[in-house]
Amino acid sequence: MNIHLISLPINFPGKKSIVYAFATLFLLTQSCTTPERDVFQKHSISRKGMVVTAHYLATQVGLDILQQGGNAVDAAIAVQFALAVVFPRAGNIGGGGFLVYRNSEGLVQSLDFREKAPSDAYRDMFLSDSTESVMESGLAVGIPGTVAGMWEMYHSLKPNLAFGDLLQPAIELAREGFAITEAEAERLNKFKQLFQDNNDYPIPFVKETKWVTGDLLRQTELANMLERIADEGADAFYKGGNAIYLTQAVRNLSGIIRIQDLSSYKPIWRDAVSSTYKKYTIHSMAPPSSGGLTLIQILKMIEPFSLEMNAWDSAYNIHLVVEASKRAFANRATFLGDPDFVAIDQNKLLSTAFLTNQMLEYNPNFASDVKAIDRNLPAASPKEHYETTHFSIVDAAGNAVAITTTLNSNYGSGIFVKEGGYFLNNQMDDFSMAPGVPNQYGLVGAEANAIEGNKRMLSSMSPTIIEEDGALFMVLGAPGGPTIISSVLLVFLNVAEFELPLAEAVANRRFHHQYLPDEIVVEDMDWNPEVLKSLEERGHKIRKITSMGAIAAIRVLQDKTLEGAADPRDESHAQGL
Ligand code: DON
C-alpha cells in the first residue's frame, strides 16, 4: 500500500483576491492511478492547451490526449468517457448532454445529444405518482444520447486520433480501478440504499463496509462495455446485447423503453443560439436547452442599463440582474421546449422590441410583482443540485469545446445496467410533469414542455463560448439545474464588466432568481448585510443556500495565453499542458 501526500488548495470565495491555503490530505491508495501531485488545482496558465473538468483524473486524460497529438475534439471525447468512470454521479454513458464547439477558424457548431422520451411516453404518465418515486423508477429513464453524441462528434469534427484510442484511458481506469476521493466516498455511502433498492444484484458501488477516501473502485463490466464501444462504435450501445439489457433493466422497474427506441436514437446538430452583448458574442445551447436563450435574454435586457462599475455586488446591480432573470425565466417556462415538437420564435424572443417591452415596467427601486408577468404557474422551492458536470477544453490551435453532460440526479435513477456497468439517467423529470407542476428544481413549464413520445425534455444546461471582438474569449459552463444559467451569467459579467481575474470571478458568491418561486436565492457567504437589506427594502425575498453551480472556465488572455479556472465549490481541476 502506498501513502501519497497530496496538497489540496482551498479557496475562500468572495474575497477580493483568491487566497490559497494548502491543507494536507493523505490518500491511502493501493492504486498506481493516484498521482503524486496536486489534486483539485483551481487555476492554471498555459499556451499549449487547457483542460478543466470535475475530476483531476479526467483532466489528466484530456491533457494526455492533447500531448499525444489529439485536438480539443479528441480530448473532449476521451474526457467524456473518462468522466463516466471516475465521476459516476454525473459523468455517464447512460445520460446525455450538449456540445458547443468553436473551431480555430471561428466556426461555431452545437450538438444535441440530449435524452429523448421513450416512444410510448405520454403526457399524463406521471400524474398519479409522487415525483420522488417516479424519479427512481424505470419510468424516469430517457433514451441515453451520450455514446451517439461522442460517435457523431468524432465523425463530424475532424479529430486526429483513432476513436478506439480515445476510450483507452477510460477503459484502463475502469479495469485497473482508481482511488476514490473523499467526496465520492461520502456520496457512495449516502446513495447505498438507492443502489440496493433499484438493483437486486451486486454492483461495484455497493460494498458491505463504508467507502473511505482512497478505496479502489474497479468497474470491470464498464471496462468491457467501453471496449465494445471502442471496437464497434455507437452500435455497441444502441443495438444488440446492450439494447436488450438496458431495456430489461428499465422495464423491470416499470419503465417503458423499447429496443427500437434505442436503435432510432439520433444526436442532432443545431444552430447554437448566438447574439451580442456589447463587444462580446455569446454562443450557447439552443432548445431543447433553455440555457442559451435565457442567458442571452437576461444579458440583452440588462444591456441598455448601466451597471454600477467597481461594485459587482451592489444592490443596484443585483436588483437589475434579478429583474431581468425573472422575466427571462418566465419566458423559459412559457415558450420553450423541444423545437422538433413546438414552434419557438427565437428571433422574436431575442428581438430588441420584445425584450425592451419586457423591461418597460422595470423600476430600479422596487421589485416588480411576479403577478405582472404571471403565467399562472405554481412552483416549489428549488433544491441545491450539483449532479451535472461541465468541462471546457481549448487546444493549442484555439479549437474550443464546451460540454455539459448529466444523468440529471446524482447517479441518475440509480438503475444500473449490470451487463454494461453503468447507471441510467432520470431525465424525464425535466419535462413539465403536468403544465404548472414543478419538477425537482422547482421549475415549472407549460404545454411547450409537456411529455410526448420521442420528444426531448427541456434543459437548463448552458455550455457557452464567448468571443470578444470576434476572437475566442471564454469557454464555460456549470452544473446546477436552473442555477447553471445564473452561474454562467455572473461569471461572464464578473470578467467582462467588472474586470475581475477569472479565478475570482468563478469563486465569487452567486445569486439566482428563476421567476417562481418569487425569491432571490443567494449563496450563504460573506455578503454585505447592507446590500441584502437594500434588496429586501426593494421588496425582494431572500433565501440562503449553501452553494450554487460549479463553473469550469477557460479564458484567453490578450497575449493568447490560456487561463483555466476550476470552481472552489467542488473537486474540479484545471490544468494546462
Ligand atoms: O438538463 C437539466 O437542466 C438538468 N437535468 C440538469 C440537472 C443538473 O444540473 C443537476 N445538478 N447539478
430 in ligand 1 pocket by Cβ < 6 Å? yes
The residues near 246 (Cβ < 8 Å, ≥ 6 apart) are 94, 144, 257, 262, 417, 420, 424
CA 176 / ligand 1 centre spacing (Å): 30
Q: What is the per-residue pLDDT for 179?
A: 97
387 in ligand 1 pocket by Cβ < 6 Å? yes
CA 245 / ligand 1 centre spacing (Å): 26
Question: How confident is the model over 275-332, as pLDDT tens digits?
Answer: 999 999 999 999 999 999 999 999 999 999 999 887 899 999 999 999 999 999 999 9
386 in ligand 1 pocket by Cβ < 6 Å? yes
β-pair type (520-523, 511-512):
antiparallel
- Res. 129 pLDDT band, cuts 50 70 90: low
Residue owning the nearest CA to atom 4 of ligand 1:
481
User: What's the whole-number mean pLDDT along residues 430-446?
Assistant: 70
Does residue 39 register a pLDDT over 50? yes
Ligand 1 pocket test, candidate residues 98, 383, 384, 441, most atoms within 8 A of CB: 441
31 in ligand 1 pocket by Cβ < 6 Å? no
Q: CA end-to-end span of the chain, whole Å?
A: 30
Q: Measured between alpha carbons, how far is residue 18 from residues 12, 279, 436, 501 in Å?
A: 6, 28, 42, 9
Residue owning the nearest CA to atom 6 of ligand 1:
481
Does residue 442 register a pLDDT over 90? no
Q: What is the per-residue pLDDT for 11?
A: 32
Beta bridge partners of residue 216, listed in sequence order: 179
261 in ligand 1 pocket by Cβ < 6 Å? no
Residue owning the nearest CA to atom 8 of ligand 1:
481
- Residue 487 sits at φ, ψ, to 5 deg, of -65, -45
Rounded Cα–Cα distance for residues 65 and 208 (Å): 37
Cell numbers at 439, concatenated: 419538477
CB 143 within 8 A of CB 172: no
CB 552 within 8 A of CB 53: yes
Q: Poorest-confidence range of 181-185, 368-372, 426-430, 572-576?
A: 368-372
Q: Poorest-confidence range of 125-134, 251-260, 295-304?
A: 125-134
- Res. 376 pLDDT band, cuts 50 70 90: low
Q: What is the per-residue pLDDT for 184?
A: 96
In which residue are the cell numbers 420584445 written? 354
CA 427 / ligand 1 centre spacing (Å): 9
Does residue 274 register a pLDDT over 60? yes
Strands, E assignment, 78-198? 96-102, 108-113, 178-179
State the amino acid at position 45 in one-letter form.
I
Tell me the three state secondary structure of residue 323: helix
Cell numbers at 360, concatenated: 418597460
β-pair type (552-556, 562-566):
antiparallel
Rounded Cα–Cα distance for residues 505 and 499 (Å): 9
Q: Measured between alpha carbons, how far is residue 346 from residues 203, 273, 331, 501 in Å?
A: 45, 9, 11, 33
CA 311 / ligand 1 centre spacing (Å): 30
Share of the chain above pLDDT 90, in %: 82
Does residue 26 register a pLDDT over 50? no
460 in ligand 1 pocket by Cβ < 6 Å? yes
- Res. 377 pLDDT band, cuts 50 70 90: low
Higher pLDDT, 412 or 12: 412
- Res. 447 pLDDT band, cuts 50 70 90: confident
Q: What is the per-residue pLDDT for 311?
A: 87
Does residue 232 register a pLDDT over 90? yes
CA 451 / ligand 1 centre spacing (Å): 18
Rounded Cα–Cα distance for residues 252 and 261 (Å): 17
CA 288 / ligand 1 centre spacing (Å): 13
Q: What is the per-residue pLDDT for 123?
A: 86
- Res. 438 pLDDT band, cuts 50 70 90: low
Classify residue 107 by burial, with Cβ atoms within 10 Å: 0-12, 13-18, 19+: exposed
CA 366 / ligand 1 centre spacing (Å): 31
Q: What is the per-residue pLDDT for 372?
A: 72
What is the Cβ-side half-sphere exposure of residue 313, based on CA atoms within 13 angstroms? Answer: 21
Q: What is the 3-state secondary structure (H, E, C) of 124-151?
A: CCCCCCCHHHHHCCHHHCCECCHHHHHH
Q: What is the per-residue pLDDT for 50?
A: 98
385 in ligand 1 pocket by Cβ < 6 Å? yes
CB 461 within 8 A of CB 289: yes
CA 405 / ligand 1 centre spacing (Å): 8
Chain mean pLDDT for the chain: 90
- Res. 134 pLDDT band, cuts 50 70 90: confident
For residue 460, give the ligand 1 atom closest to its CA.
3
- Residue 391 sits at φ, ψ, to 5 deg, of -135, 150
Q: What is the per-residue pLDDT for 28?
A: 30
Q: Poorest-confidence range of 2-16, 241-255, 341-355, 438-452?
A: 2-16
Ligand 1 pocket test, candidate residues 135, 146, 408, most atoms within 8 A of CB: 408
Ligand 1 pocket test, candidate residues 285, 444, 457, 461, most atoms within 8 A of CB: 461
Residue owning the nearest CA to atom 2 of ligand 1:
459
Tell me the three state secondary structure of residue 558: coil
CB 216 within 8 A of CB 2: no
Share of the chain above pLDDT 70, in %: 88
CA 463 / ligand 1 centre spacing (Å): 12
Q: Is the pTM of this model over 0.85?
A: yes
Catalytic residue annotation: 388
425 in ligand 1 pocket by Cβ < 6 Å? no
95 in ligand 1 pocket by Cβ < 6 Å? no
Ligand 1 pocket test, candidate residues 83, 187, 406, 456, most atoms within 8 A of CB: 406
Does residue 554 register a pLDDT over 70? yes
Question: How confident is the model over 490-526, as pLDDT tens digits?
Answer: 999 999 999 999 999 999 999 999 998 999 999 999 9
- Res. 15 pLDDT band, cuts 50 70 90: very low
Q: What is the per-residue pLDDT for 556?
A: 98
Q: What is the per-residue pLDDT for 22?
A: 28
461 in ligand 1 pocket by Cβ < 6 Å? yes
Q: What is the per-residue pLDDT for 435?
A: 60
459 in ligand 1 pocket by Cβ < 6 Å? yes
Cell numbers at 264, concatenated: 432510432
The residues near 80 (Cβ < 8 Å, ≥ 6 apart) are 91, 97, 146, 150, 391, 403, 405
Residue owning the nearest CA to atom 1 of ligand 1:
459
Q: What length does the chain have?
A: 577
408 in ligand 1 pocket by Cβ < 6 Å? yes
Q: What is the per-residue pLDDT for 25?
A: 34
Higher pLDDT, 188 or 386: 188
Q: What is the per-residue pLDDT for 386?
A: 57
User: What's the whole-number mean pLDDT along residues 99-107?
Assistant: 98
**Angle at alpha carbon of residue 553, lines to 548 and 555, rounded to 5°:** 140
CB 450 within 8 A of CB 117: no
User: What's the whole-number mean pLDDT along residues 341-349?
Assistant: 97
Residue 190 C-alpha from the chain's centroid: 22
Q: What is the per-residue pLDDT for 440?
A: 67
Does residue 517 have a cis peptide bond before it, meaning omega lies within 30 degrees of 0? Answer: yes
Cell numbers at 60, concatenated: 489528466
Domain spans of the chain, in order of start: 1-577
445 in ligand 1 pocket by Cβ < 6 Å? no
Q: What is the per-residue pLDDT for 374?
A: 58
CA 407 / ligand 1 centre spacing (Å): 8
Residue owning the nearest CA to atom 5 of ligand 1:
408
479 in ligand 1 pocket by Cβ < 6 Å? yes
Does residue 271 register a pLDDT over 50? yes
